[in-house]
Amino acid sequence: MKLSDVKKYIADLFLPNRCPACSKVIPWDKTMCRKCREKLIVITDELCSVCGKSQCIDHSKLAFENCIALFYYEQPCINAIYALKYNKGSNFAEFSAGLLRTELENKNLIEKIDLVTCVPMSSKKLRKRKYNQSEMIAKCICEQIGKPLDTNLIVHADTLVDHHKLPKNEKADNAMSSFRIADDSKNLKGKTVLLCDDVYTTGSTMNACASCLKKLGAKSVIAAAIATTRHVEKRYDEES
Ligand SMILES: [Zn+2]
Ligand SMILES: [Zn+2]
């Protein structure tokens, strides 16, 4: 038995393992109940492999070369992402990382990836939440694909305006100014970076982070998210 499994087995004795989408108690070694798993349908084939949307957004404005997402941001995915963000459970990150690996394999992208990173969280939010769910996803993907994780590439420049309350056209500009290069001395020349986040909406956050990676010399950026919104206009209204 792996050490991580031993920990899970013991944790389950004190706090029963639960399905991230419906909260039903599930066996210690499962990440989701069967009912919820059956409702989650991978939609990768419906999405453009460049922009990650079913109806393309302007590719000329993208700082990433590929985008993959697994599910539409609808139930039961909404509940499962909420649990990932607030309940500290890694079940949905583990479950999704396995599926993201399969999608990366199907698109022959795994061998191209040199390192994995994630969308950073503002320090204020991190103090409140204690952890960054995007980093949790990135860690789980690293375990799946055996590539190194580097979370010291991009930082969130704590902004005064609440990003999600801005009108759509102002959102892109705000995202651009929300992220900065964490360490100028890093050199990503010739490297392909997998950039992870939980939900992909307008693409402005992924784009701003991909721009930072490009400034560090990255050759290519693959954006990966668990969920994508069906329409770009539909805003991700929950506090991210
Ligand atoms: Zn369930
Ligand atoms: Zn497209």
Q: Which ligand is nearest to the CA of 35?
A: 1
Average pLDDT of the chain, as a whole number: 90
**Residue 43 predicted with pLDDT over 90:** yes
What is the DSSP-derived secondary structure letter of residue 152? Answer: -
- Could you report the per-residue pLDDT of 168-213, keeping only the tens digit for each? 666 666 777 789 998 888 999 999 999 999 999 999 999 999 999 9
Q: Which amino acid is at 12?
A: D
* Strand, coil or helix: 227: strand
Q: Is 103 in a helix, a strand, or coil? A: helix
Residue appearing with tokens 């108690």: 25
Residues 70, 56: Cα–Cα separation, whole Å: 16
Ligand closest to Cα of 67 equals: 2
Q: How far is the CA of 136 from the centre of ligand 2 (A)?
A: 27
- pLDDT beyond 60 at 81: yes
Residues 30-42: tens digit of each pLDDT: 999 999 999 999 9
Q: Which of 11-15, 65-69, 82-86 has the lowest mean pLDDT?
A: 11-15
Decide if 214 contacts 191 (C-beta within 8 A).
no
Note whether 97 and 88 are within 8 A (CB): no
Tell me the C-alpha distance between 183 and 39, whole Å.
Answer: 42
pLDDT at 236: 46
Terminal Cα-to-Cα distance of the chain (whole angstroms): 36
Rounded distance from Cα 80 to ligand 1 centre (Å): 9
Question: If DSSP codes are grouped into helix, strand and coil, which group holds residue 105?
Answer: helix
DSSP class per residue in 8-61 = HHHHHHHS--B-TTT--B--TT-SS-HHHHHH----GGGS-TTT-SSS---GGG
Give the residue among 133, 190, 127, 180 at the shortest CA–CA distance from 152.
Answer: 180
In the chain, where are the structural domains located? 1-37, 40-228
> Reading across the β-sheet that carries 192-200, which strands appear in turn?
66-72, 220-228, 192-200, 115-118
Centroid of ligand 1 to alpha carbon of 73 (angstroms): 16
Which numbered ligand comes closest to the C-alpha of 38? Answer: 1
Q: Is the pTM of this model over 0.85?
A: yes
Q: What's the topology of domain 40-228?
A: Rossmann fold (3.40.50)
Peptide bond into 120 cis (omega under 30): no
pLDDT > 90: percent of the chain: 71
Ligand nearest the Cα of residue 61 is 2
Confidence at residue 193, expressed as pLDDT on a 0 to 100 scale: 98
- Residue indicated by tokens 């590929």: 66
